[in-house]
Amino acid sequence: MASIRKLHQQLVSKERSAVEITQEALARLEVLEPKLKSFLWIGAEAALEQARRVDAKIAAGEEIGPLEGIPVALKDNLCTQGVPTTCASRILENFVPPYNATVVEKLAAAGAVIIGKTNLDEFAMGSSTENSAYQTTANPWDVTRVPGGSSGGSAAAVAAEECVAALGSDTGGSIRQPASFCGVVGMKPTYGLVSRYGLVAFASSLDQIGPFGRTVEDAAILLEAIAGYDPKDATSIKTEIPNYLDCLKPNLRPKGRLRIGVIQETFGEGLEPGVENAVKAAIEKLQELGAQVQVVSCPTFRYGVPAYYVLAPSEASANLARYDGVKYGMRVPDADNLLTMYGKTRARGFGAEVKRRITIGTYALSAGYYDAYYLKAQKVRTLIKRDFEKAFAQADILVSPTSPTTAFTQGEKADDPLSMYLLDLMTIPVNLAGLPALSVPCGFDERGLPIGMQLIGNLLQESTLFEVAYAYEQSTPWHQKKPILVS
Ligand code: GLN
């Protein structure tokens, strides 16, 4: 599938119709889904209907927007009116929301063709998409491996060209890490830039919706469509949304004007040599492009994972209390009183990882432990924020690997949650500080698996991230390589 810009040109010049483009995506889905399993729901009929509407507009000589007629996918934790929203959980098996998430409304208003809902780790808890109650998504570069998570379905679908772009959500890395594992661009915006209204909550102070694209430009177009103030989200920021496309230039700003800080602590133990080499080469490339590169230190970075695994489960334990068999989704019928019904519904409805998080969170918030765990973790969060503030006094953007490893094999870490948690060490601090960051492809390891470089920006500096990622992308060949499944 071509890029958004290319498809738009084809539509406007009547070289192809929106129906043809949608049919191309649906045909690819039919061929690839048995192997890939990136979708939980496919809406072929509604997609074709939307495509026909776009074609009618073009035929009537009306102008169309950049996303009109473009096939996109949504992570299945975004509420879609009249369409199942399962969060890959049994407990929401039959849940059909009566309303759309704000981002879904925005995409619909922009004329995008929504082709389906993608697989995820149950309630976005995980790093491999193996925690889905329904299916395990494969990595298009090697189907024996995971696509990363929790937005693994969206990342794999974009990488395999089952759709042009997709939305995911990122609480501790769930957009950036699967983007890195699948060789696509994924961005987590500044906390509050994109409305969370209608995103099923995992950890509300960390969750943020963001775009996946095969190129930086596609991701920028998608972000521009979904960003903006929303009175329905109390944490939404009132800010002007810049024209992100304006900052996409093949060259970086004049020599020395862009200061890049390499986060020293992210190049330590546990980093795969292939990842280290690729990210270091990418940093050299940025230097060649005119950036002034220096090393910065964020000493509290390493406390990000432990703080997150107190804070995120704490928030999750509160957020998930609403799934009780009464208000949403499934209910175990054979219970003779209310408490037994709650218990049985949750026992059957939630998977192991979700139960683990609820248990940890409930424990951390309970009387007597609150100060020792939750409050302490909040203090660590403040220290991490301060480290970033110091780093941004010296640099315009910060750089690190997105993940210490490339995609691992399915089942490899399934029985060892701690080793999976530790993989988030580079992405989590960014959520704790509410900053924007993106993952851009920066090479392949010796097995041919994609590697991602993480660029972190200061608050609301999405434009700078796009600027740097675009200049880098345009001067490297990585985005042109296609996974085995596609070629
Ligand atoms: N992998 C992390 C977790 O399991 C992050 C998930 C996310 O960003 N949604 O919590």
Domain assignment present for 461: no
The pLDDT value given to residue 415: 87
The 10s digit of each residue's pLDDT in 397-435 is 999 999 999 999 999 998 898 989 999 999 999 999 999
The 10s digit of each residue's pLDDT in 51-82 is 999 999 999 999 999 999 999 999 999 999 99
CA distance 266 to 453: 11
Q: Which atom of ligand 1 is nearest to the CA of 124?
A: 9
The pLDDT value given to residue 473: 98
Quick check: 360 pLDDT over 80?
A: yes
Asked if residue 237 has its Cβ within 6 Å of ligand 1, the reply is no
Q: Which atom of ligand 1 is nearest to the CA of 127?
A: 1
CA of residue 235 to ligand 1 center, whole Å: 20
Residue 482 bears catalytic tag = no
Residue 75 bears catalytic tag = yes
The 10s digit of each residue's pLDDT in 439-450 is 999 999 999 999
Residue 386 is encoded by which pair of tokens?
């301060």
Q: What is the mean pLDDT of residues 167-181?
A: 98
CA distance 90 to 329: 8
Residue 390 bears catalytic tag = no
What is the domain extent for residue 179?
A: 4-253+476-486
End-to-end alpha-carbon separation of the chain, Å? 12
Sequence-ordered list of residues with C-beta below 8 angstroms from that of 320, at least 6 positions apart, any chain? 123, 350, 354, 358
Hey, which of 75, 122, 150 would you mutate to test ligand 1's pocket, going by the most ligand atoms within 8 Å of its Cβ? 150
Quick check: 461 pLDDT over 80?
A: yes
Domain assignment present for 208: yes
Kindly report the average pLDDT of the chain as a whole number.
96
Quick check: 487 pLDDT over 80?
A: no
Quick check: 223 pLDDT over 90?
A: yes
- pLDDT band, very low/low/confident/very high, at 385 (cuts 50, 70, 90): very high
CA distance 71 to 50: 10
Domain assignment present for 319: no
User: Any bridge partners for residue 74, and if so which?
Assistant: 117, 167
pTM: 0.98
The pLDDT value given to residue 303: 97
The 10s digit of each residue's pLDDT in 80-132 is 999 999 999 999 998 999 999 999 999 999 999 999 999 999 999 999 999 99
The CATH number of the domain where 212 resides is what?
Answer: 3.90.1300.10
Q: What is the mean pLDDT of residues 476-484?
A: 94
* Alpha helices by DSSP H, 411-478: 417-422, 428-433, 462-474
CA of residue 114 to ligand 1 center, whole Å: 25
Residue 27, number of CB atoms within 10 A of its CB: 11
Where would I find the beta strands (DSSP E) of 198-320? 208-213, 259-263, 292-296
Asked if residue 168 has its Cβ within 6 Å of ligand 1, the reply is no
CA of residue 121 to ligand 1 center, whole Å: 9
Catalytic-role residue among 3, 150, 180, 195? 150
Residue 264, number of CB atoms within 10 A of its CB: 14
Q: Which atom of ligand 1 is nearest to the CA of 420?
A: 1
Flag the least confident range among 145-159, 205-219, 473-487.
473-487
Q: Which atom of ligand 1 is nearest to the CA of 170?
A: 8
Tell me, what amino acid is at 244?
Answer: Y
Domain assignment present for 83: yes
Domain assignment present for 181: yes
CA of residue 202 to ligand 1 center, whole Å: 9
CA of residue 416 to ligand 1 center, whole Å: 15
- pLDDT band, very low/low/confident/very high, at 367 (cuts 50, 70, 90): confident
Domain assignment present for 325: no
* CA-proximal residue: ligand 1, atom 4 (nearest): 126
User: Any bridge partners for residue 194, and if so which?
Assistant: 227
Sequence-ordered list of residues with C-beta below 8 angstroms from that of 205, at least 6 positions apart, any chain? 191, 311, 315
Tell me, what amino acid is at 258?
Answer: L
The pLDDT value given to residue 484: 83
Asked if residue 125 has its Cβ within 6 Å of ligand 1, the reply is yes
Residue 359 is encoded by which pair of tokens?
């248990």
Asked if residue 174 has its Cβ within 6 Å of ligand 1, the reply is yes
CA of residue 5 to ligand 1 center, whole Å: 32
CA of residue 116 to ligand 1 center, whole Å: 22
CA distance 274 to 437: 22
Sequence-ordered list of residues with C-beta below 8 angstroms from that of 57, at least 6 positions apart, any chain? 64, 68, 111
Domain assignment present for 451: no
Asked if residue 124 has its Cβ within 6 Å of ligand 1, the reply is yes
Burial state string for 373-401 with b = 16 or more CB within 10 A and e = fewer than 16 = bbeebeebbeebbebbeebbeebbbbbbb
Asked if residue 127 has its Cβ within 6 Å of ligand 1, the reply is yes
The pLDDT value given to residue 254: 86
Q: What is the mean pLDDT of residues 351-371?
A: 95
Q: In what order do the strands lie in the sheet with 39-42?
A: 39-42, 113-118, 71-75, 165-170, 208-213, 185-188, 437-444, 450-457, 397-401, 259-263, 292-296
Domain assignment present for 443: no
Name the burial class of residue 132, with classes exposed (0-12), middle (13-18) and buried (19+) by CB atoms within 10 angstroms of its CB.
Answer: buried
Catalytic-role residue among 127, 128, 174, 439? 174
Number of domains into which the chain is organized: 1
- pLDDT band, very low/low/confident/very high, at 251 (cuts 50, 70, 90): confident
CA distance 32 to 186: 22
Catalytic-role residue among 37, 57, 75, 106? 75
Asked if residue 86 has its Cβ within 6 Å of ligand 1, the reply is no
Judge contact between 128 and 137, C-beta under 8 A.
Answer: no
